Amino acid sequence: MGKQGRKKKRGSTLADKIESRRLRYNNQRLERAILTFFAACDEDDSGFLEAHEFVIAQAVIAEMAGNAFDDDAANDMFADVRKFDKSGDNLVSPKEFKQTMMEMCEVIPRNAEEIIQELAQRTATVAMQMRREVVMVLRKFFKAPCHALLHRTVWCRIAMHRLIWPWIWTTADTWTKTRWSCWWTSPRNVPSRPLASRRRSSSPWRGSTRAAMERLSSRSLWITS
């Protein structure tokens, strides 16, 4: 009896090669879309997703869970960062994120690439909204200290009028201090007034320079207080 010949393996046809290449290209595009989604969540460009950045991904997935994802699979995958954090260092690397998202894309009913691109687009909007909310919280937190700072400024003005100016006038016993105070309070160093207003009896410029500055200080104190 002659030896039976071995059966030749069926070679891959052209259609099989085209299909495998198409799947490979689709996976590459999906990986790029996932990395784009990762970069949109990574606000500080650190190369890792921290806890506060992972919340953005959770919010985006929650918005699209009903339309694109299986609710149970999405909740199970994004309920905790530990699903993505395989190393346990509380940081999600791009490799860990890509692997987990590729597994999750298997339960997506429609084109996974379109879903991931939509995720990246929505991520920018969600990140902007969350940033605005954080700014609003910070404004409310610092609102009281700002008012306190304003009150401190007003009290500094009051101290300037009640303490510093009287000290200048009472300690102007030397010729240098007197000359400095006279130059500081001379009418040429203040905005000029019309001549008619200077002739009035109620004008602050009538009388000595010291009396004029005292009247101005009292008026400024009344305005600022």
**Contacts of 189 by beta carbon, 8 Å cutoff, 6+ apart:** 183
For residue 75, what pLDDT is reported? 64
Q: How far apart are CA 134 and CA 123, in angstroms?
A: 16
Q: Give the lowest-confidence range in 4-18, 27-41, 80-94, 154-168.
A: 154-168
178-188: pLDDT as tens digits? 444 444 444 44
* pLDDT over threshold 60, residue 101: yes
Q: Which of 53-57, 96-100, 205-209, 215-219 shows the lowest mean pLDDT across its residues? A: 205-209
Report the first-to-last Cα separation within the chain, whole angstroms.
121
Between these two residues, 179 and 11, which has the higher pLDDT value? 11
What digits encode the pLDDT tens for the residues 152-171?
Answer: 455 455 544 554 444 444 44
Residue 224: predicted pLDDT: 44
- The domains located in the chain, with CATH, are 15-139 (1.10.238), 143-189+201-224 (no CATH)
What pLDDT does residue 5 have?
A: 56
This model's pTM is above 0.85: no
Question: Do you know the residue count of the chain?
Answer: 225
Q: DSSP character for 101?
A: H
Alpha helices in the chain (DSSP H): 14-41, 51-64, 71-78, 94-104, 112-141, 143-159, 165-170, 175-184, 195-199, 209-224
- What pLDDT score does 215 carry? 57
**DSSP codes of every residue in 171-204:** TTTSHHHHHHHHHHTSGGGS----HHHHHSTT-T
Q: What is the mean pLDDT of residues 124-133?
A: 74
